[in-house]
Amino acid sequence: MPMKWGAVVVAAGRGSRMGAADNKVYLPLAGRSVLARTLEAFERCGAVETIVVVAARGEEAKAAEAVREAGAAKVAAVVPGGAERQDSVYAGLAALSADGALVHDAARPLVSPAQIEACCRAAERHGASALAVPVKDTIKVADGDGMIVSTPERRTLWAVQTPQAFARVELMEAHRQARQEGAAATDDAMLLERLGRKVAIVEGDYVNIKITTPEDLPIAELLLQRRRQEERSTID
């Protein structure tokens, strides 16, 4: 049975590698901010009923402006984040009113509504899911001296993206346990994994890039332009 889904869009990072004075999620991407572009995708996804935006403390007004820019009527709240990503996600989950919770990095503005919905449906079937793409390169594991010690089988390797989808109550409990035990995780799927839960992979798209360095913005603009051209040709 379909769950009631909400999304936590995390926009509280500083993005120091971007080298910009402003938070990267407020930089322009084809005429609108990165955050506004991200919110547009969740607004257009029929599976998502409500959205909570987590902003860096002091940037709540900027986030609210991005919500207006996107015309995101599903946004129920803009809440301040914490010192670490885990703290920010937990703050968003606490403000979310939904059975299922999607967690998405605001710096991934090219996610599609179809990918978001696919994550929801996979989580309904398997309990939790994460968008990911197969790794293209051969990966090496190195020791502390920078010497290669092993080469993992590439067919088993996936580069994880967001959104990731969970039962909201279960994800909140995983966050609470991690906090109590001082465990850090770079994504939310890791918090479920450490409790022995399985997380299903939903194959995503290499277009769903994360805006991290200055080079990523012009690439994102080109990818967005290509997507618009493809959509227009489909309509025609």
DSSP 31-50: TEEHHHHHHHHHHH-TTEEE
pLDDT digits (tens, 9 = 90+) for 165-179: 999 999 999 999 999
What is the count of structural domains for the chain?
1
Q: Are 122 and 165 in contact (CB under 8 A)?
A: yes
The CATH number of the domain where 139 resides is what? Answer: 3.90.550.10
pLDDT digits (tens, 9 = 90+) for 123-140: 999 999 999 999 999 999
pLDDT confidence bin for 16, thresholds 50/70/90: low
Full domain range(s) for residue 145: 5-235
Separation CA 66–CA 69 (nearest Å): 5
CA separation, residue 86 to residues 19, 93, 177 (Å): 23, 11, 12
pLDDT of residue 17: 60
pLDDT of 19 higher than 60: no
- Prediction pTM value: 0.94
Q: Are 109 and 38 in contact (CB under 8 A)?
A: yes
Q: Helix H segments across 162-215? A: 168-181, 188-193
